[in-house]
Amino acid sequence: MMKRASLTDFDRDLIGGVLVQYYATCKREAWLYAHKILANQDDENILMGRVLAEMKDEKELHQFAFSNLKFDKISKQKGHYLVTEYKKSLSNVEGAKMQLLFYIYLLKKNLKLKEVKGKIISGKKVIAVDDTPQNLKDLEKILDEIVELVSTPTPPKAEYKAICNGCAYRDYCF
Ligand code: SF4
Could you tell me what percent of the chain has a pLDDT over 70?
78
Whether residue 7 is contained in a domain is answered as no
For residue 45 and ligand 1, the question of a CB distance below 6 A is answered with no
Whether residue 3 is contained in a domain is answered as no
Bridge pairing between strands 125-129 and 116-122: antiparallel
Whether residue 149 is contained in a domain is answered as yes
Whether residue 4 is contained in a domain is answered as no
Whether residue 77 is contained in a domain is answered as yes
Does residue 103 surpass a pLDDT of 70? yes
pLDDT digits (tens, 9 = 90+) for 14-67: 898 889 999 999 999 999 999 988 776 666 666 655 555 554 544 433 444 444
Residue 140: which CATH number?
A: 3.90.320.10
Distance from residue 36's CA to the centre of ligand 1 (Å): 15
Bridge pairing between strands 69-71 and 116-122: unpaired
Sequence-ordered list of residues with C-beta below 8 angstroms from that of 63, at least 6 positions apart, any chain: 56, 57, 70, 72
Q: What residues make up the domain containing 140?
A: 12-173
3-state secondary structure of 139: helix
Whether residue 158 is contained in a domain is answered as yes
Beta bridge partners of 166: none
Does residue 136 surpass a pLDDT of 60? yes
Report which protein residue has its CA nearest ligand 1's atom 2: 164
For residue 29 and ligand 1, the question of a CB distance below 6 A is answered with yes
Distance from residue 170's CA to the centre of ligand 1 (Å): 6
Whether residue 126 is contained in a domain is answered as yes
Q: How confident is the model at residue 89 (pLDDT cuts 50, 70, 90)?
A: confident
Whether residue 6 is contained in a domain is answered as no
Q: Domains in the chain: how many in total? A: 1
Average pLDDT over residues 74-84: 86
CA-based torsion, 161, 166, 170, 174: positive or negative:
positive
For residue 163 and ligand 1, the question of a CB distance below 6 A is answered with yes
